[in-house]
Structures are given as C-alpha cells and as structure tokens.
Structure 1
Amino acid sequence: MSLAMRMTRTFLRTRPNVFVTEGRLREALRQSRHDAPVPAALRRSCHVSTEVVDGHTVTTVTPKSGASGTELIYLHGGAYVRPLVGPHWSIIATLIRRTGATVIVPLYGLAPHYHADDAYKFLDSVYPAVLQRAGHNPVFLAGDSAGAGLVVGQAIRCRDEGLRPPDGLLLFSPWVDVTMTNPGIAALIDLDPMLAPAGLAAAGRDWAGARSVTDPLVSPLHDTLKDLPPTYIYQGGHDIFLPDVERFAAKAQAAGTHVDLRVWPTAFHVFVGAGWTREARQALSDAADHIKSGTRN
C-alpha cells in the first residue's frame, strides 16, 4: 500500500459515514446538495457543451486537441441518492487526457424522487444519440459505484433489446447487488471507511421503485450475465462491495463474458477518485489502455 493510499484512508475515517443507518442516510439527504460544476482546468483543455434531455442535464466534454473519436458515457456513483462530486470529474479528466475520448456525462435523476426506470428512460434518449454521433468509432460505458451498476444494467438492456452493444464496460468499484445480503460483507465492515450495509440497502430500495431489489436492472448480479461486452473491473479490497463484485466476475466468466477483475487489496471504495495515489494511477492507466484499444476481446 502506498503512503498516499494509507494517508487518504486515514483521512476518510475522520469523515462521517452517512450509510451506517437508514436514519443517518435520511438525515443527510435532507441537506440540499448540487452536482459539482465542470472544473476550470477541464474547460481550458476541452470543449464543454451542456444540453437538457428529458428534463436532465447532459454534459459533453471533448478534448481541444488529440480527440480520438471514441465516445465514452460516464455514469457517476453516489448510491443513486447523491450527486456528482469533484472526484468524479477527476476520473473523467484523467480518462480524457489518456485516451482523447469524448466523455458524455448524463446526470440521471436521484432516488427517492426518481427510480431505476426513470434512469433507463433517460438513457433511451442519450445512448442512441451517442451511437449515431460515434458512427463506426468505439463507444464505451464507464461508471463508478452505483453508476457502474447502472452501466451493467444498460448493457443488459442493449443485449435484450437487440441494440448495438458498447465496445466495453469500465467498472470502478461497482454496486452490483443493492440488497447488501452477501454474508461476506460482514468481514469488511470495519475495514471500509466509507460504506455500510444498512443505509445502502435503504438507498437500493428507494432506487428500485416498483421493481424488486433483485431485478437485474437494479441488481445486475442477478442477471445471467451472458453475452455482455468485455468488462474491466477495478476494485478495492477494503470495500464492502468486494464479495458481490467477486461473485459477479465469476458468474459472468462462467457465462462466457470476458471479465478482467483487478483488486487492490488495501484500497478503499472508488479509490480511482484519489488521483494522487499510485493505485489510482495504475487503475486508470489500465482502463485507458482498454479504451484506446477499442476492440472487443
């Protein structure tokens, strides 16, 4: 473990964990929060455009020089209840800098006011437009935490509805089962400085809306995971999502889907957002290599 990782993890332990109980999560959600704006540095190096699609903001970021033609849709995490934050822009900026990809950031509606079905309806407008603009160029889906779960759900829909699939999925600490019932979670609770099962399970119920929490479009671990695009997962070992991520990878591989799971044993949840750490740089460099390859393995 790098010194930067150790210091960051220590700092995170000083921050309140809003997921410890459902009550604490509800209290935190009563405080008004807004999506972090596009950083000035990213505006200097990229063309940034914003439009409203079906009532939600979609931001498109294209490098001013070295654009590759590759398109990447990035769905942010936050347990489906919290907005995009600064570290998400850090991840996006690094991927743009390393790949030349145009990144599309759809700000889907958050629970409890919006549900999974609302997000997929929104993506029904966003995804085809990206495909059309990309033409024959590669299109990737990427996301962290809850956003990564939504990425897999969208890939499942592409498969089931006969749509052009993305060329690959890049998943950073994905939330693949909102039930939080995996018995392996218990051993990681004291190691995880950011997450806890009770609040997350409540957020997952809110997100499911009229669907079951085990519906594959809410908890993609419960899909067959057959015939999905090549999937690249970057996971921390001190993250309570690890047991479900390992199940997801094993199930997908057994179903014939190409999955590459890389685990940093002492890293925390969505450690790729801590770009000052060696571990984050390694993970994002590997993800960028897959984007640049633009191939289905």
Structure 2
Amino acid sequence: MTRRQREAVDALYRNAPVHPNPTLAERRAGFAQAISRPLPGDVAAHETVLAGRPALDLTPAGATGRGRLLHFHGGGYVVGSPGTHAGVTAQLARRARLRATSVDYRLAPEHPFPAAVDDGLAAYRALLDGGVRAEELVLAGDSAGGGLVVATLVAARDAGLPQPAGAVVFSPWVDLTLGGQSMRTKKDADPIFTREALQALATPYLAGQDPAQPLASPVFADLRGLPPLLVQAGSNEILLDDAVRLAGRAAADEVEVTLRVWPQVPHVFQNHFGHLDEADEALDEAARFLSARVRAGHEAQADRRLDPEDSEDPEEPRAGRP
C-alpha cells in the first residue's frame, strides 16, 4: 500500500486524453480500451445466454463446483459489457473459487430504465429456475453495476423470490439524484468523475423519469430482508457518500452490512489489481466474504436435510404431537 502506487493510479486518470463530443460508439469503444484487463490464465471464459441476454461464463480452475456468482458490470448504464469487466470479474471469481456469470444487460439510451433492472431480475430468476440454489448464489457489481445489484435484490424480494446468500458492491452508484455531499466535498480529490459527467450518464438512463425511484436509486429503497452486504469504496471519489449512505440505510433496515473505505484511492480501484496493493487487498476481502456466504448457505442447506423433523415420513405421527 504505497503512496507511489496511489499517485500513479491518480495520474493515470488525470492525464488520460479527453476527446470532445465523442459519439456513443466512440464512448463505448474508449471505455473498453481504458478499463479492460486480461483474463488470468487459469480462468476459462465462454459466451453463453442467460434469460435471453448475452452473458459471459468465467470458470476458474480452482472452482469447487458449489456456488455461483452473478455479476453486473459498471459503466453508468450507458457503456460497458461483461467483456470490459472480464478481468476484474475473473479475479474475484478465482479468489472466491466460484464460477461466475456476467450478464450483458441492456444499456441506455437505447434501453432506458427500468430495462437494466428487468434484465438483472430475469437473470437472477433464470439461475434459480436452472437449479442454482439461492443459498449458494451470490451477487457482485461495481459502480452502476453495484446499484443494479441492490435494485435486483429489492426487485427479487418484491417478486417473492428467495434472497441469495450475499452480495458485494464496489463503489456503488445508488443515488441518481446526485444528492450526496461528496459530490461537492470530493470533487477535487476524484480524478475520474465530475457531477456533470455523472449527470450525462443519468439523463439518458432515466429518460425523463423520477431519479428518486427506489429501483433507479436504491439508496432510497426499503432494504429490509436483503442478504448480508459488503460495500467497498475509495475515499477519492465523489460517489463516496453513495456507499456510506447505502450502508447506513441497510443497517437501519436490519440488514447485516460491512462498509470498507480505502483511503486515497479512486472509484472502482479494484480494477487496478496487480498494480495497486489496495486493489488486491479489496478483492481478497470480497472473495473471502463471498466464499463464506456460499459456505454458510451450503451448511444451512445440509443442516435442513439432516433435521429429523424434515426427514420424517409425513404420514407418521411425531412423538409428543397429537
């Protein structure tokens, strides 16, 4: 965790070339070029389809065969894909020893809110319908993908679906009203975003709809009944208060939540694994959390199978009961 590493990452963003008035295609291509990282050699990738949407399956050589990670990429609901985030998703999957599926949910402006949430919920439902047990299913996402994770959990709960074992969100964007104080207090520290840049992403995604809707800005949602959450953020980002307020809202709604903020690192710093010690530390922490949640779900499932009340013949009377 050296100051030199942090300064190098900060300079990388501040010195990045700026292209005035790029087209949407240029924005998407530039984003992909800027953030894509190579896959580890011990992670196999293949394209698939989940709930009618393209998806990327990532299977680490060390995957245990138990548990599944459902991943939602970042990109402000406008740019990004499973491919742009395959490197960091694979890093998380291999450290957690979990097979991961990253969904290519629909993007704005072609498909504004609630298309992304609909796709997230459909993907979650499809995994359950396909035989993945909720107790051994975990979710993860970064930035807008982190917001989509929380919105998907809320939508799943409201649809009567069982909750997964847990979820991890990196630098989640959960307030599209852009109302956090860090929009102002961290504007000089953040090397990536300005409030105006975030507004330019929120506007096409919302397409005139209320930004405070709970599924668009889940920091305003009722989070009761959600599974344990791990929220990670950097102190050098204007979205810091999104992470802090999400954790506070979750705690107030009786959700088990852990908030970790790493000092002097930017938005989704986890993508700098291998170059920034904090990134590797954060990914290790997230992997331990996901592995523990899957293990706890598996053990709870095994305990239920061993429960003598569950295994008794329902036609036989139980001792001590009428």
Q: Secondary structure of 1:249's match?
A: helix
User: Over the residues paired in the alignment, what is the CA RMSD in angstroms?
Assistant: 2.6
Matches within 5 A, 1:91-110: 91-110=88-107
Identify which range, 197-206 or 45-54, moves more after superposition: 45-54
Residue from 243, 247, 250 that aligns with 2:248: 250
Q: Is the 8 A contact 2:68 2:136 kept in 1?
A: yes
Q: Following the alignment from structure 1 to structure 2, what is the Cα–Cα distance between the partners of residues 189 and 28?
A: 26
**Residue 285 of structure 1 pairs with residue 284 of structure 2:** yes
Q: Secondary structure of 1:33's match?
A: helix
Residue from 154, 160, 167 that aligns with 2:158: 160
User: Which residue is equivalent to 2:42?
Assistant: 45
Q: Highest relative contact order (Cα 8 Å, sep 6+), 1 or 2?
A: 1
Task: Provide closer, same or farther for how the CA distance between residues 66 and 85 of structure 1 changes in structure 2, counting only shifts above 3 A.
Answer: closer
Runs of 4+ in 1 over 6 A off after TM superposition: 36-40
Aligned residue identity for 1:268: P
Q: Following the alignment from structure 2 to structure 1, what is the Cα–Cα distance between the partners of residues 166 and 52?
A: 28
**Residue 10 of structure 1 pairs with residue 8 of structure 2:** no
Measure how far apart 1:55 and its partner are: 5.7
User: Which residue is equivalent to 2:28?
Assistant: 33
Residue from 257, 260, 283 that aligns with 1:259: 257
**Residue 225 of structure 1 pairs with residue 223 of structure 2:** yes
User: Which residue is equivalent to 2:72?
Assistant: 75
User: Which residue is equivalent to 1:193?
Assistant: 191
Task: Provide closer, same or farther for how the CA distance between residues 130 and 210 of structure 1 changes in structure 2, counting only shifts above 3 A.
Answer: farther
Q: Secondary structure of 2:26's match?
A: coil
Q: Following the alignment from structure 1 to structure 2, what is the Cα–Cα distance between the partners of residues 50 and 218?
A: 28
Task: Provide closer, same or farther for how the CA distance between residues 277 and 28 of structure 1 changes in structure 2, counting only shifts above 3 A.
Answer: farther
Q: Following the alignment from structure 2 to structure 1, what is the Cα–Cα distance between the partners of residues 39 and 198?
A: 33
User: Which residue is equivalent to 1:113?
Assistant: 110
Q: Following the alignment from structure 1 to structure 2, what is the Cα–Cα distance between the partners of residues 287 and 181?
A: 27
CA deviation map 1:142-176 (0-9, x unaligned)? 00000000000000011111101121110000001
Q: Following the alignment from structure 1 to structure 2, what is the Cα–Cα distance between the partners of residues 185 and 123?
A: 27
TM-score under structure 1 normalisation? 0.88
TM-score under structure 2 normalisation? 0.81
Measure how far apart 1:17 and its partner are: 6.4
Q: Is the 8 A contact 1:53 1:122 kept in 2?
A: no
Identify which range, 236-245 or 53-62, moves more after superposition: 53-62
Task: Provide closer, same or farther for how the CA distance between residues 87 and 107 of structure 1 changes in structure 2, counting only shifts above 3 A.
Answer: closer
Aligned residue identity for 2:88: I
Q: Is the 8 A contact 1:205 1:213 kept in 2?
A: no
Q: Following the alignment from structure 1 to structure 2, what is the Cα–Cα distance between the partners of residues 134 and 105?
A: 15
Percent of aligned pairs with the same amino acid = 31
Bigger-Rg structure (1/2): 2
Q: Is the 8 A contact 1:69 1:137 kept in 2?
A: no
Measure how far apart 1:137 and its partner are: 5.5
Task: Provide closer, same or farther for how the CA distance between residues 27 and 167 of structure 1 changes in structure 2, counting only shifts above 3 A.
Answer: same
CA deviation map 1:1-58 (0-9, x unaligned)? 522122111121101468xxxxx6x63535263567997744x533433234566311
Measure how far apart 1:244 and its partner are: 2.4
Q: Count how many residue pairs are aligned between Structure 1 and Structure 2.
A: 290
Aligned residue identity for 1:293: A
Measure how far apart 1:180 and its partner are: 1.1
Q: Following the alignment from structure 1 to structure 2, what is the Cα–Cα distance between the partners of residues 58 and 93?
A: 14
User: Which residue is equivalent to 1:21?
Assistant: none
Measure how far apart 1:111 and its partner are: 1.0
Measure how far apart 1:210 and its partner are: 6.0
Task: Provide closer, same or farther for how the CA distance between residues 174 and 70 of structure 1 changes in structure 2, counting only shifts above 3 A.
Answer: same
Aligned residue identity for 1:8: V
Q: Following the alignment from structure 1 to structure 2, what is the Cα–Cα distance between the partners of residues 223 and 137?
A: 23
CA deviation map 1:233-290 (0-9, x unaligned)? 1100000001222122112111211110000121100000000211011111111111
